[in-house]
Structures are given as structure tokens and as C-alpha cells.
Structure 1
Amino acid sequence: MSELERVVVTGMGTVNPLGTSVEQFWNHIKEGVSGIGPITKFDTTDYPAKIAGEVRDFDPSDLLDRKETRGMADFTKFAVHAAVQAMNQAKLEAGSFDPYRSGVYLGNGIGGFEVVEENLYKLYERGPHAVAPLTIPKLISNEAAGNIAIHFGMQGPCHTTVTACASGTDAIGDAFNAIRFGQVDVALSGGTEAAITKLSVAGFCRLQALATRYNDTPQIASRPFDKERDGFIMGEGAGMLVLESLSHAKKRGATILGEIAGYSMTCDAYHLTAPNPDGEGAARAMQGALAMAGAKLEEVDYINAHGTSTAANDSMETKAIKRVFGDHAYKLKVSSTKSMTSHLIAAA
């Protein structure tokens, strides 16, 4: 077997409640700005949860053609816009790379929920002929990945990973492995979600998963690992990376932003909506990633945790970190950016 390729990051893009560019997002993160506020997309009078992390001041036409976005659901607009940002930073454009050696690996959990709701109303009120012709293409989860592939002419692998809140991370893991094993040279990968809709929020409220105690103080509502936490805050947005093999990036003189050294995924096989409280599955995932990277425990100094601000997750995740890192866990810096962004589900 030939030597495995190293995988590097050469471009980044994002659309989220803290901004519609990496620069805006990072500046707001550093300043401790919260992107959480009252839901404006629909009337929340009858909803226990009334706040969310909405994307604001987003105009996809600043990077995308209006004709192109006309047939897109919101989660696709977020993803394609973030992908263009990432490719611009990487200084890659259609025609500058081998289309057959490039791919799209995207995570999405819910798809075009707003498209489902809009067309269900039309169906029940006016009948089947009122349903929009592009309803199905717009709502299915792989619509975003397909649009990215079309936009850049990427004709290698194009697939969508659906693993709930881990979808974006697992999609990056899929891209990482594809490059590592020499299947592609360049990949666009990340996650996208647009789940602030009537049905989605109602469903998560019925699961008692969303915070309801802080409707009047939304900026302090998402509080990972805090004893006063009472649920997560729904969010929306996308995050995209350009990944390349190290050899490909060096050959074209790309600026290297970082390297992915290890990845692992596990399943608790425990419950449909709750993690195993002992944290064993999460611990195995961390151990697998560290082993692949050849990293020593003491070399890790920061963990960006899942940290959903729910009782079940935060307790489990704390146990998992202690299980993996032992005494070194108490020297780690651990935080969750969901305190400012809210929970972007597949884009988390």
C-alpha cells in the first residue's frame, strides 16, 4: 500500500448567527457577542421556546447569481455561499483543479423543512396542483451538495452525511479519509442546516430539548456546562472547508491554514435521543482520533466541546473527557461556541 496522504485545510467559509463571513464570525467570537435573539421567522405565541440563533443580514446574491439561488432552499443557500467563500480563500475556481479528482462531502440533518411546510399548506388548502414543481429537489438533504458540485464542476464523489448533530463533522471525516487514501485531491466539506421552522421548533419543544427558561434574556440562554442550563437553542447556518492533500496544496503554492491529523466515529447504540450517560462511546471516538493522529494526551491543550447546554449531553461529555485524559483533563481548556452561536445541528 502506498503512503497515506496528509490532509490540510486551505479555505474556510461560514454563514451563521454571528456573521456571513469567517472574519465577522471570528471577530464576534473574540468579542463574546451572542447571535441568539427572539425568533422572527414565525409567531411563537404558542411555543414554549421563543428564541433562536437566526442568520441575519444575509444576501446570497453578493456571491451567487440570483437565478442560481431561485431554486434553492435556505440550507442550500447557506452551504453554497459558504463554499464560495472557502474556495475564494483557497484561490481555487472551476477549471483550476482536476474535476474528476475533486468531491463534495456535506453534512445535513433535516433538509428543506421550510419547503415541506410551505407546500403542505398549499396541498391541504388548494390541492396537489398547487405544490411547487421543485418541491422534492429543494427539500432533500443532498440538494446542497449537488448544487455545490454543479457550481464548481466537481465530478468526483458527491454525497451527504446524515448523522444528526454530528453530520458536519462526519462529512469532514469522510472527506479526510477520501483524500488520505488518494481517492481525491481536493474536497469541499462541512455542514449546513436551516431548521428554525414551525414544525422543527415544535418537534424539538415536544422532545423537551429546547431551552425555555431564558426567553426574556436570550443572550444568556445557551449555557453549556452551567448548572442553570435547561436545553439547547436552535440555530441555523453553514460552515465549509476546502481540504486538500498536502502534496496538492504544496504543488500549487497554497496557504495552509491547518491540518487534520485524526478522525474517528462511534455509536452508543443506546437511545434514539439521549447519549449513554457513562460517556463510553464519546470516549472511544476521541481515543480513536488521537490514535490515528499519533498524538499524546499531554499535547492536547484545548477541546471545542459539543456542549449543547442540555443536562444529558454536558454531563456525559464531561465524563468522556475525564475518561480519555485522566489527570490531564484538569489542565485542558474546554468550551463550546454554542453559547454564542446556538446549536446549528449539522453545521455545529
Structure 2
Amino acid sequence: MECEPIAVVGRGCVLPGALDPDTFWDGVAEGRSSLVAAPEGRWRLPRRWAMGSVDDHLDRTWTDVGGYVQGFESVFDPSGFRIPPERILSLDPLFHWVLYGVGQALAEAGREGPLPRAGLVLGNLSYPTPTGAAFAEHVWLSAQRPPVRDALLTGERRERPDARNRFSSGLPARLAARALGLGAGAWSLDAACASSLYAVKLACDRLHDGTADLMVAGAVSRADPLYLHVGFCGLSATSRTGRSRPFHREADGLVHGEGAGFVALTRLSEARASGLPVLGVIRGVGLSNDGRGAGLISPAEEGQVRAMRLAYARAGVAPETVSLVECHATGTPVGDAVEARATARVFAAGEDVPIGSVKSNIGHLLASAGAAGLLKVLGALRTGIRPATLGAGRPLDALAGTPLRVLTAPERWEGRRRA
């Protein structure tokens, strides 16, 4: 069943190495990596206390490399919203990233509030933020006997963080809707690393059923970075070498990052009628769920095939007419091999299908991973360049004999641009 096409009319982001979509695209097109060691102070404790080794990492991490957002405070203006600045500044930067990114997407779409027929769908994992963790620490330490409390509750921890930081899962979406005048509702969802693209699907549904005329969709990921480092080392999912190498045969795990990405969406017919910029067109979305499987980091090939085939069936488009595929491809050997096999099945009728993954540039952004990939594709569509995936010079054996080809150097995108 074909669906009414949905136009992408605006973009916004807060990403490693980029605080706007054009800077982000420039970095991808130029083959830059934004993976660095943890900036000073991000772990809130001495680095030596947190570092372990591959052989000894209980409650520790063997690497501090990640995709970190830096310099955001210099561009964020809390006075530009419909909420008092002091009510914004006391919240974790996760809230600020949502306000900033959604506002960017609306601005590029030429839309300013109040917008009674506009809404927001926000992907957001319920992981602890640094400010939320600091609030929990304050509550716990304040309940201790005075000698312990006085010994531990020192410096900035004497002042209790804003209690609203407890609600970092759902409150950012509601706060953004209020601050930006979105009258058609806002809510959050957690579909793990599919969250931002799941949000796009639900936003398209709102436009298809006529309950909104403009929707912003995307996700934010700003968990406490030490929590992520320790957690993913505990899962044995983190790269031992600190390198993000999607589809490389010697890749040894993911490198996680942080950030937020958003797109503003409306019906294509209305975008054209209103003279809005059409940055891309969404013709179909496919969703599935693996159900019970081998584990958290062992995806099911059948589930991926089902999702892709549903998308192309809804779009009324043959997979072999596609000339760029942006993959999930996190750099984990099992996950990348499963995705290679699944994608090869869906695109089996194609002759040459270039593929890639933005995680080689910025790491795995968890809930925001799909949004970053979508912003990369929009940049490729606009400029006519298919960008390279870094560090993929020796592709997986699973790609041999398939029409899939990892882009190891940028290419001109000739002919019809369909991704």
C-alpha cells in the first residue's frame, strides 16, 4: 500500500564536531572523525579511578574514546524560548539540546510558534544523565550521618540540582513543545537504537491521519558517559582498540557517542504549495521487532529483512532502484555480519549498491543513531556526493559476492538519487 509522500522541510542537530546540519555534512563529506578522548570533567571523577583493562574491567572501562559534543554552551541562548531562561538553565544539557535542535529544524522550515497544528515525537532512552545522577547523589549523601555527609558532600554538590532532572525521559519533549509553541502534542518513545527512525514513522502517521500539519521527529542521547563506557564494556560490545570501523573484517566493537538530530516534516503536496524547501521525500517506513532472540547485541536477520521489505512495499519502490544505503552498522562483528546478510537479501536484484555508516565518523549515538544517518543522507541528496565510510578498507567476508559495496572514497552521485 503506497502512502502519501512526506517532505523533509527542516533539519536540526547537536552532534560530535557539529552544532548545525551543514557543518555536520561538511565533516562527513570531508572524511573527518569526531571521535576523541573524554573531555576533562565529563566523568565527574578522576580518570584513573575509572580506567581498567580488557582483562580487568569490573565496574570500569578499558577506553575513554567517544563521540562527544563540545562547545555547545557558546551557541545556546536560553532567552529565545517561551519559558524563563532560569527555568531552562537549571536543567541538564540534554533538555537544551532538544530545544536547540527542534528550534533549528523549525527555523529551516520557516516556521515559528505558536504552531497549533505542529507536534514533536522524541526518541529518548531512559538512561541517567549527569545532572540526574548528581541529583541522586545529593539525595543519597544528604541522608547519611553528618560525618559522612560533610566528608562527601563538598563543593558544587552542596547545592541540590533541579529536581526536574529526574524526568529526563518524557519531560524534554513536553518542555520543547511548550517552549516552541507546538500545539499538536509532544511525547517520547524508547525503541532503543531505532528510536529516532521510529519517531519519524509516528510523525508520518500524524501527518497521514490529518491530526497535524507539521511534525518534528528525532531523538536525543546524552547519558552519563561513564555509565555508557562501563556498561558497554560489561556487555563486551565496546571496541578494544577505540576505533569505530563499520563493515571492516577486523572491527572489534562499537564506539558510543552522544548527540541529537531532528527533521521537520509535512505532507509533500503542502510543502510544494507553501514553497517550503524540500530536502528529501519519505515514501515509506517499515517497522518490525525481533522478538525473543540470542541477546541484546545479536540482532535477528529475519527481523531486519521484514522491516526493509515492508518499507519498500509501502513506498511502491523496488529496492534495486536505490543507489545509496545508509546502514546501522555499528562495528560489532556479529551485528554487522547480520546486517550485511539481511541487506544483501533485500537488494539481491541490484547490480551495484553503495553502502555506508556514519558511525565511522561520530560513533554510535544510540537513540540518535538513525537521525544522524538520515541527516547524512539528506546532505548526500542535496550535494550529489556519496560519502566514504572511514576505516572500511577491508570489508567483511559476508559482503563478498553480493551487490553491496562499501564506499571507501567519496563518489559523485550520478542519475536518480534514491536512498
TM-score under structure 2 normalisation?
A: 0.75
Contact 1:36 1:54 in 2 (8 A): yes
Q: Provide Cα deviations, 1:117-175, integer angstroms capped at 9, x if missing partner.
A: 21232223222997847434554311221121012211223111101100111011110
One-letter identity of the residue aligned with 1:288: L
Change (3 A) 1:149 1:72: same
Q: Provide Cα deviations, 1:157-207, integer angstroms capped at 9, x if missing partner.
A: 311110110011101111011112212110111011012422232111111
How large is the RMSD of aligned CA atoms in angstroms? 2.2
User: How many residue pairs align between the two structures?
Assistant: 335
Change (3 A) 1:267 1:60: farther
**Greater Rg by CA:** 2
Q: Provide Cα deviations, 1:76-118, integer angstroms capped at 9, x if missing partner.
A: 21121111111111110003x4x1x221101011354213321
The residue that corresponds to 2:280 in the other structure is 258
Aligned partner of 2:179 among 127, 151, 175: 151
Contact 2:123 2:190 in 1 (8 A): yes
Matches of 1:132 and 1:86, distance apart in 2:
33
What secondary structure is seen at the aligned counterpart in 1 of 2:182?
A: coil
Aligned partner of 2:296 among 259, 270, 273: 273
Aligned partner of 2:244 among 211, 215, 222: 222
By how many angstroms is 1:35 displaced? 0.6
Contact 2:132 2:166 in 1 (8 A): no
State how 1:118-197 maps to structure 2 within 5 Å.
Answer: 118-127=134-143, 132=160, 134-197=162-225
One-letter identity of the residue aligned with 2:90: G
Matches of 1:63 and 1:209, distance apart in 2:
37
The residue that corresponds to 1:218 in the other structure is none
What secondary structure is seen at the aligned counterpart in 2 of 1:14?
A: strand
Q: Provide Cα deviations, 1:18-37, integer angstroms capped at 9, x if missing partner.
A: 21011111111111110101
Change (3 A) 1:281 1:60: farther
Matches of 1:144 and 1:127, distance apart in 2:
29
Aligned partner of 2:107 among 65, 88, 104: 88
Contact 1:195 1:234 in 2 (8 A): no
Contact 1:303 1:333 in 2 (8 A): yes
Matches of 1:86 and 1:228, distance apart in 2:
38
Change (3 A) 1:133 1:52: closer
Aligned partner of 1:70 among 75, 89, 92: 89
By how many angstroms is 1:298 displaced? 1.9
By how many angstroms is 1:67 displaced? 2.8
Unaligned regions of 5+ residues in structure 2, if any?
Answer: 53-60, 80-84, 150-157, 370-419
The residue that corresponds to 2:378 in the other structure is none
Q: Provide Cα deviations, 1:17-75, integer angstroms capped at 9, x if missing partner.
A: 12101111111111111010101212243321221100011126544324353132222
Matches of 1:104 and 1:83, distance apart in 2:
8
Matches of 2:69 and 2:163, distance apart in 1:
23
By how many angstroms is 1:248 displaced? 3.1
Aligned partner of 1:45 among 36, 41, 51: 51
The residue that corresponds to 1:29 in the other structure is 28
Matches of 1:264 and 1:254, distance apart in 2:
26
